[in-house]
């Protein structure tokens, strides 16, 4: 189990408090037999250290550490690396990551001095941008948020702040995006229902017509909207006209310009020879449907679909009517 945000903040605060105390850092080579007697000394005792071993102490000189009655309150360890001469030289300490490296083992990574100040400033700036996104136009929010999320993911900032920032984004920005999407689907569903009613009025004038093909630009390639619209139209036909009608909807993904096709065929019409998957594959140029289902199928073209959709719709209608002759 990893450290909590509160624990990471506590460690950050503890280290920075020691930095502010401007404690001297002492180093001395000590016979290893004496060094191991220092109470509270930190070392990897299963490793082989040179004799004498270099001892580093923060805040207490080595001679005092070697006194048998002295109990270490700060940091004393065996170490061969270089160190500052005073904790004030570190300036600032910021934990940037905390992760598992093995069973029961975790690693903390941190930055100091200039890098720590940079990490703090960048973290605060990212948090401000996240707050500002709440005032961005709904149409731009998803794209702007994705850019911000990418920057957050690769940023070297306080680990605690990054965790809090992600939580803020989830609770505020992502929930807002979800609400916008829900309202969008509700609006498009209503638009689809209005169109469906117009189609019903048309079908009333043509009692022999049992196929509908329509270009649904307003769906913008959203397969959920297209599926709901097709199901709603078939039900409306059954309820209002007491007859089954096969439905094909065409739309275009605004990003890829791919043609998206939705075909729903009631069982009574499937038995007459019109199958949803075949209808897409045989009548829509460039669209492919890999579904084996004959009653409900979806198809998609390659990006930048070149054909005129009204002409494609007319061709699909003719093909379906010929199958039902």
The total of structural domains in the chain comes to 3
Q: What is the pTM of this model?
A: 0.64
Same domain, 153 and 258: no
Q: Is 196 within a domain?
A: no
Specify the CATH number for the domain of residue 278: 3.10.310.40
Q: Cβ distance 224 to 184 under 8 Å?
A: no
- What digits encode the pLDDT tens for the residues 231-254? 988 998 899 888 999 999 999 998
Which helix (H) or strand (E) segment holds residue 30: the answer is: strand 25-30
CA distances from 87 to 38, 171, 285, 295 (A): 22, 39, 73, 74
Same domain, 96 and 81: yes
**Going by DSSP bridges, is the β-strand pair 75-78/53-58 parallel, antiparallel, or unpaired?**
antiparallel
Same domain, 17 and 101: yes
Domain residue limits at 143: 115-182
Q: Is 120 within a domain?
A: yes
Q: Is 223 within a domain?
A: yes
Same domain, 212 and 262: yes
* The predicted structure's pLDDT at residue 192: 65
Q: Cβ distance 23 to 42 under 8 Å?
A: no
Q: Is the pLDDT of residue 45 over 70?
A: no
Same domain, 222 and 176: no
Q: Is 199 within a domain?
A: no
Q: Is 192 within a domain?
A: no
pLDDT band, very low/low/confident/very high, at 268 (cuts 50, 70, 90): very high
Sign of CA dihedral 64, 68, 74, 78: positive
- What digits encode the pLDDT tens for the residues 118-148? 999 999 999 999 999 999 999 899 999 999 9
Q: Cβ distance 29 to 55 under 8 Å?
A: yes
Measure the CA–CA gap between 155 and 169, rounded to whole angstroms.
15
């Amino acid at each position: 189990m990893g450290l909590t945000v509160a624990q990471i903040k506590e460690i950050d605060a503890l280290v920075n408090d020691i930095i502010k105390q401007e404690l001297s850092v002492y180093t001395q080579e000590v016979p290893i037999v004496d060094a191991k007697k220092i109470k509270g000394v930190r070392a990897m005792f299963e490793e082989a250290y040179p004799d004498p071993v270099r001892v580093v102490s923060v805040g207490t000189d080595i001679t005092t550490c070697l006194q048998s009655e002295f109990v270490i309150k700060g940091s004393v360890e065996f170490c061969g690396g270089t160190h500052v001469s005073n904790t004030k030289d570190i300036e600032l300490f910021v934990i940037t990551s905390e992760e598992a490296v093995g069973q029961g083992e975790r690693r903390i990574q941190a930055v100091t001095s200039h890098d720590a100040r940079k990490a703090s400033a960048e973290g605060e700036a990212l948090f401000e941008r996240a707050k500002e996104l709440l005032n961005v136009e709904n149409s731009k929010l998803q794209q702007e948020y994705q850019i911000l999320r990418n920057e957050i993911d690769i940023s070297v900032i306080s680990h605690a702040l990054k965790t809090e920032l992600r939580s803020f984004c989830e609770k505020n920005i992502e929930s807002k995006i979800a609400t916008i999407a829900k309202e969008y689907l509700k609006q498009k569903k209503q638009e689809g229902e209005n169109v469906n009613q117009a189609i019903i009025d048309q079908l009333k004038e043509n009692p022999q017509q049992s196929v509908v093909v329509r270009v649904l630009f307003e769906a913008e390639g959203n397969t959920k909207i297209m599926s709901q619209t097709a199901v709603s139209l078939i039900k409306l036909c059954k309820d209002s006209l007491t007859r089954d009608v096969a439905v094909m909807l065409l739309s275009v993904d605004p990003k890829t310009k791919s043609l998206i096709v939705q075909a729903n065929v009631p069982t009574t019409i499937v038995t007459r020879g019109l199958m949803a998957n075949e209808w897409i594959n045989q009548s829509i140029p460039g669209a492919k449907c890999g579904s084996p289902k004959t009653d409900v199928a979806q198809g998609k073209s390659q990006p930048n679909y070149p054909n005129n959709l009204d002409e494609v719709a007319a061709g699909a209608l003719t093909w379906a009517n010929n199958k039902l002759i």
